[in-house]
Amino acid sequence: MSKEKKPHSISRRKFLKNFGSGVVGTTVAIHSLQKIPHAQETLESAPHTDRSPLTITVNGKNITTLVEPQTSLVDFLRDQLKLTGTKIVCNHGECGSCTVLLDGEAVYACHMLALDAANKSVVTIEGLLEAEELHPVQKAFLEHDGYQCGFCTPGQIMAAHAILLQNPKPTREEIISGMSGNLCRCAAYPKIIESVVAAAEK
């Protein structure tokens, strides 16, 4: 690294000078000023305007809306419907964190287009609740500590729910293999397995 490029901390004074004003936060570079949309404009001038109509049922509610055709189901759920319980971890169908039910079967919501879920029924982690009351599978995870940081938990619970919908009395081995598509980096696996076993016994 040459001498004149030697890194140095900047002082507050210099920082403000660089940005031209003491009222930081209101200072804006000229080229971007022209581009900043007003709040009202945002939706109308949003980049991809070729939107397709989508009719879908999410957590029991019928929704008719427009989506950009390339939108994945998980982005639709999170960005458009603000159902942030469903997580994105790998975004490549490798980890199961975005698992939701599609017509009663577990799917990776990062791995399909929202348009492919048209006229189908999606249930997310939020949809398992009855008002503020937890679903029995959710209760089992809570009682048996089937998580640590909790980020993969919605996906784990939806996968467990799907297993039990298909097979209400799975063996321990069936549970272990059924849950193997859902990665947990905290590796809370023993208690995840215990939670699903307990949920199956309910």
Partner 1 sequence: MASRKIIKSKHFFEEDFQETLGEVSTDSYPNWPLNEKLTYVGKALPRIDGYDKVSGTAKYAFDIYLPHLVHAKTLRCPLPHARIKKLDVSKALQLKGVYDIISHQNTPQIQWYYVSLLFDPHLRYEGDEVACVVAETEALAQEACKIIEVEYEELPFVIDPKEAMNSDAPKLYEEGNIVRGRPSEYSRGDVEQGFKVADFVIEDEFKTQVEVHNPTEPHCSVVNWDGDKLTVWDTTQAIFRVRESVAEALGIPESHVRVIKQYMGGGFGSKLEAGKYTIMAALLSQRIGRPVRIAMDRREMNLAVGNRPDSVQQLKVGFKKDGTLTAMTHYSYGSAGAYPAGAACSWPLKQIYQCPNISTTDYSVYINAGRGRPFRAPGHVQGCFALESILDDAAEKLNMDPLDFRLKNYAELDQVDNIPYTSKLLKEAYIKGSEAFQWKKKWKKAGSDLGPKKRGVGLASQIWWGGGGPPAYVTLKLNSDGSVQIIAGTQDIGGGTYTFVAQVAAEVLEIPMTKINVLLGDTAICPYGPSSGGSLTAPSISPAVRDAAEQMKSKLIAASAAILGIPENQVEYKQGISSDRKNQDNKLDIPEILDKMDEKILIVSGAREANKEGYTINSFGVQFAEVEVDTLTGKVKVLKIVAAHDIGRVLNRKLLENQFHGGIIQGLSFALTEERIIDRNTGKVLTTNMHDYKIPTTMDTPDIDIVIVSEGDALISNTGVKGIGEPAMIPTAGAIANAVHNALGVRIKSLPITPDKILSALYG
Show contacts with partner 1 in window 137-156 (CB under 8 A): 138-139, 141-143, 145, 147-154
Q: Which is nearer to partner 1, 63 or 142 (CB)?
A: 142
> Which of 23, 44, 60, 130 forms a contact with partner 1 (CB under 8 A)?
23
Site for partner 1 in 101-140 (CB under 8 A): 124-126, 129, 134, 138-139
Contact 85, 141 (CB under 8 A): no
CA–CA gap between residue 71 and residue 139 (Å, rounded): 32
- Shortest distance in whole angstroms from residue 137 CB to partner 1: 8
- Shortest distance in whole angstroms from residue 194 CB to partner 1: 10
Does position 197 bind partner 1 by CB under 8 A? Answer: no
Does position 14 bind partner 1 by CB under 8 A? Answer: yes
Contact 48, 41 (CB under 8 A): no
Q: Give the number of C-alpha atoms closer than 13 A to the C-alpha of residue 3, restricted to the C-beta side.
A: 0
CA triple 171-157-86, angle to 5 deg: 150
Longest dimension (CA), the chain: 71
- Shortest distance in whole angstroms from residue 7 CB to partner 1: 5
* DSSP 8-class letter at 77: I
CA–CA gap between residue 9 and residue 106 (Å, rounded): 51
Q: Which is nearer to partner 1, 3 or 119 (CB)?
A: 3
> Which of 53, 66, 92, 104 forms a contact with partner 1 (CB under 8 A)?
92
